[in-house]
C-alpha cells in the first residue's frame, strides 16, 4: 500500500519534471542524434585564475560545438575528495572533471579502472609536448596506481608551488634585504624575533606547517631522495640527514621564536588572513594564495621569492582533468581539455594570478604574475618540483598534521616525531599495489 503510494508520487513528480524540462535529452542517446550535453565538474572559485580561464574555455567550446551545451556543476573540493570513487562507480559520472592528483586520489581511481586511459589522445593532440617532465609525473600512473610512469590518466592545466611571501613594508622597517641564501633568511628571521615580532605566519592545524617542514628537508635532499619518498624508488630513512635536519631545525625555530609557540591549532585560512592583515612579515605557502593576496592586500607592499638556497621546493602540476571510464561523451571531453590547453586560455590563466603550463611568457603583462611564473619556470626547468609531503600514503596528511603539532607544542622530541611519521609511511609501503 505504502509502496504503491510512493511509486505513484514519484511517477507524478517525474512526469512534472519531464514536462518542465522538455529540452532535456536522455543521456543514453547516441552521439550523433540531436543536441548533446557535456557534463563538467570542477571545484575552482569563479574568480580564481582557473575559474576565469575555464569559464572562457566553456564559451569557446560552445562556440565551436554548435548543438552542444556545457552543463557545469560546481562542486566543493571536499565533496570530490571524499565521494569521487563512489560517484564514478555509478552511472552519474560526469564527462570530464577536475580531480586531485596523486597516488591516493587519481592513482587509486586509475588502478580501479574508473578513469579513461588518455594516452592515445595525448599523442594525437600533442599534449605531452606542452607539459614539462615534472608536470607529467602527476598525469601518469602505473598499474599499482603509483604516479610517474605508465599510462596517462589526467591532464594538468595549471601548476602550483610553495614559495615565500613577504611584507615589504615590514622588511623595510627593519632594514632587511630580500634574502638570497638560507643564512640570510635565518638572519632576517632573527632580526624580527629580536625586535619582538614572530617572523613566520604558521598554520599548524592544516597543510602549511608540514610543507614548511618539507621545505627544510628538501634543503638537504637530492632528487633520488624525493623519488624514494614519493615514487617508492628506494628506501627512505626517516632518521636520515634530510628529515632529521628538518625536524631539528623546525623545533629550533619554535624555540627561537621564528615560529609561534601558539600556532598549533591555527587553520590555514586564519594564517592567510593574519598575513593579509600585516601581522606577520613572512608566510611560506603555496601559489594558490597569490590571487587572493593580489586582490585583498591593500595596506602594504608585498612580494614573493623562492625559498632561498633550495634547488627543490614543494610543488607539482595542479589538479588534473580526468575523463571517467563511464563518461558518455568522451569525444567532447577531449575537445574541451584541448581548449583549456590553448595559448590564449593559458595566457588568461597567467594574467589572472595562476601559473599556466603552456602559456606564452611574452603575453603575461602583470609584473607580479610575471615574477610568480618566472620563479615557477626556474624550478620547473631545473626539475625542482618535489610534490607534497602528504602524498605518499592515503591519510598521511593527518599523520603529518599531528606530528608537526607535536613539534610546535614541544610535546614530543624531533626524534619521537620522526618515529611518529615513519610508522604510517612504512605501513603503506607494505600495502602498495594491493
Partner 1 sequence: MKRSRRGGYWVFLLPSALLFTAVVVVPFLMNVGIGFTRWQGIGAPKWIGLDNYTRLLADERFWASFRNNVALIVAMAIIPTIIGLVLAATLFDHVGKKFGPRTAGALRAAYYLPQVLPVAVAGIVWGWIMHPRFGALNELLGLLGMEPRNWLGDPSWALPSVMAIMVWFQIGYPVVIFMAGLQRVDPALYEAAETDGASWWRRFWHITITQIRPEIYVVLLTCTIAALKVFGPIFVLTRGGPGGATLVPSYFSYQNFFEKANVGYGSAIATVLTLLIIMVTVFFLRIQDRES
CB nearer to partner 1: pick between 200 and 264: 264
User: Which residues neighbour 159 within 8 Å (Cβ) at sequence distance 6 or greater?
Assistant: 135, 287, 315, 316, 317, 318, 355, 356, 357, 376, 380, 385
Place of cell 603555496: 286
**Which parts of 377-396 interact with partner 1 (CB under 8 A)?**
394-395
Place of cell 610553495: 162
CB nearer to partner 1: pick between 88 and 131: 88
Minimum CB separation of residue 201 from partner 1 in Å reads 11
> Cα–Cα–Cα angle for 347, 352, 356, nearest 5°?
45
Q: For partner 1, which stretch binds (CB under 8 A), given 36-44, 189-197, 258-266, 283-291?
A: 258-266
Q: Which position among 38, 104, 118, 229 is part of the footprint of partner 1 (CB under 8 A)? A: 104
Q: Which position among 110, 186, 274, 340 is part of the footprint of partner 1 (CB under 8 A)? A: 274
Total residues at interface with partner 1 (CB under 8 A): 42
Q: For partner 1, which stretch binds (CB under 8 A), given 60-68, 79-87, 117-125, 374-382?
A: 79-87
Does residue 4 interact with partner 1 by CB under 8 A? no
Mark 37-65 as b/e (b = at least 16 C-beta within 10 Å): bbbbbbbbeeebbbbbbbebbbeebeeeb
Q: Which position among 163, 205, 283, 385 is part of the footprint of partner 1 (CB under 8 A)? A: 205
> Cα–Cα–Cα angle for 243, 248, 250, nearest 5°?
95
CB nearer to partner 1: pick between 25 and 82: 82
Does residue 115 interact with partner 1 by CB under 8 A? no
Minimum CB separation of residue 4 from partner 1 in Å reads 12
CB nearer to partner 1: pick between 82 and 123: 82
Q: Which position among 60, 62, 72, 89 is part of the footprint of partner 1 (CB under 8 A)? A: 89
Q: Where are the alpha helices (DSSP H) in 290-395?
A: 290-296, 330-340, 343-351, 367-381
Phi, psi of 20 (to 5 degrees): -70, -45
The 3-class secondary structure across 238-297, one letter per residue, is CCCHHHHHHHHHHHHHHHHCCECCCCCCCCHHHHHHHHHCCCCCEEEEEHHHHHHHHHHC
Query: How many Cβ atoms from other residues are within 10 Å of residue 420's Cβ?
Result: 17
**Which parts of 402-421 interact with partner 1 (CB under 8 A)?**
402-403, 405-406, 408-409, 411-412
Does residue 181 interact with partner 1 by CB under 8 A? no
Minimum CB separation of residue 413 from partner 1 in Å reads 13
Q: Which position among 260, 272, 318, 354 is part of the footprint of partner 1 (CB under 8 A)? A: 260
C-alpha cell of residue 319 = 589538479
CA–CA distance from 254 to each of 64, 87, 93, 257, 313 (Å)?
56, 43, 47, 5, 21
Does residue 374 interact with partner 1 by CB under 8 A? no
CA–CA distance from 364 to each of 57, 163, 211, 371, 405 (Å)?
18, 20, 28, 10, 40
Q: Which position among 270, 325, 335, 415 is part of the footprint of partner 1 (CB under 8 A)? A: 270
Minimum CB separation of residue 279 from partner 1 in Å reads 8
Interacting residues toward partner 1 by CB under 8 A: 1-3, 81-82, 85-86, 88-89, 104, 108-109, 111-112, 114, 204-205, 260-267, 270, 274, 279, 394-395, 397-398, 401-403, 405-406, 408-409, 411-412, 434
Amino acid at each position: 500500500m505504502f509502496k504503491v503510494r510512493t511509486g505513484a508520487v514519484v511517477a507524478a513528480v517525474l512526469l512534472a519534471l519531464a514536462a518542465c524540462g522538455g529540452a532535456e535529452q536522455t543521456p543514453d542517446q547516441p552521439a550523433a542524434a540531436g543536441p548533446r550535453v557535456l557534463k563538467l565538474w570542477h571545484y575552482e572559485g569563479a574568480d580564481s585564475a582557473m575559474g576565469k580561464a575555464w569559464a572562457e574555455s566553456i564559451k569557446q567550446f560552445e562556440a565551436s560545438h554548435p548543438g552542444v551545451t556545457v552543463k557545469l556543476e560546481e562542486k566543493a573540493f571536499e565533496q570530490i575528495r571524499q565521494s569521487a570513487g563512489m560517484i564514478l562507480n555509478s552511472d552519474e559520472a560526469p564527462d570530464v572533471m577536475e580531480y586531485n592528483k596523486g597516488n591516493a586520489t587519481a592513482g587509486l581511481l586509475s588502478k580501479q579502472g574508473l578513469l579513461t586511459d588518455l594516452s592515445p589522445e595525448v599523442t594525437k593532440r600533442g599534449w605531452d609536448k606542452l607539459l614539462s617532465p615534472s608536470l607529467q609525473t602527476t598525469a601518469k600512473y602505473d598499474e599499482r596506481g603509483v604516479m610517474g610512469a605508465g599510462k596517462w590518466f589526467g591532464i594538468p592545466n595549471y601548476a602550483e608551488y610553495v614559495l615565500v611571501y613577504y611584507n615589504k613594508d615590514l622588511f623595510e622597517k627593519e632594514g632587511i634585504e630580500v634574502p638570497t641564501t638560507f643564512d640570510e633568511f635565518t638572519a632576517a628571521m632573527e632580526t624580527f624575533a629580536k625586535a619582538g615580532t614572530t617572523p613566520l605566519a604558521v598554520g599548524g592545524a592544516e597543510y602549511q606547517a608540514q610543507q614548511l617542514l618539507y621545505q627544510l628537508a628538501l634543503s638537504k635532499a637530492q632528487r633520488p631522495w624525493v623519488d624514494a619518498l614519493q615514487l617508492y624508488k628506494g628506501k627512505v630513512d626517516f632518521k636520515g640527514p634530510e628529515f632529521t635536519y628538518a625536524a631539528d631545525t623546525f623545533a629550533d625555530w619554535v624555540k627561537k621564536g621564528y615560529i609561534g609557540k601558539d600556532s598549533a591549532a591555527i587553520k590555514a585560512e586564519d594564517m592567510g588572513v593574519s598575513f593579509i592583515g600585516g601581522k606577520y612579515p613572512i608566510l611560506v605557502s603555496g601559489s594558490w594564495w597569490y590571487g587572493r593576496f593580489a586582490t585583498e592586500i591593500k595596506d602594504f607592499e608585498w612580494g614573493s621569492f623562492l625559498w632561498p638556497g633550495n634547488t627543490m621546493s614543494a610543488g607539482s602540476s595542479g589538479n588534473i582533468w580526468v575523463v571517467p571510464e563511464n563518461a558518455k561523451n568522451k569525444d567532447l571531453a577531449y575537445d574541451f581539455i584541448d581548449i583549456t590547453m590553448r595559448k590564449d586560455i593559458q595566457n588568461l590563466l597567467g594574467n589572472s594570478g595562476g601559473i599556466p603550463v603552456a602559456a606564452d611568457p611574452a603575453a603575461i603583462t602583470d609584473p607580479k604574475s610575471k615574477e610568480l611564473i618566472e620563479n615557477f619556470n626556474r624550478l620547473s626547468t631545473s626539475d625542482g618540483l618535489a610534490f607534497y609531503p602528504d602524498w605518499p600514503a592515503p591519510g598521511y596528511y593527518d599523520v603529518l598534521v599531528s606530528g608537526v603539532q607535536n613539534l610546535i607544542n614541544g610535546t614530543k622530541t624531533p626524534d619521537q616525531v620522526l618515529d611518529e611519521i615513519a610508522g604510517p609511511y612504512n605501513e603503506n609501503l607494505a600495502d602498495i599495489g594491493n
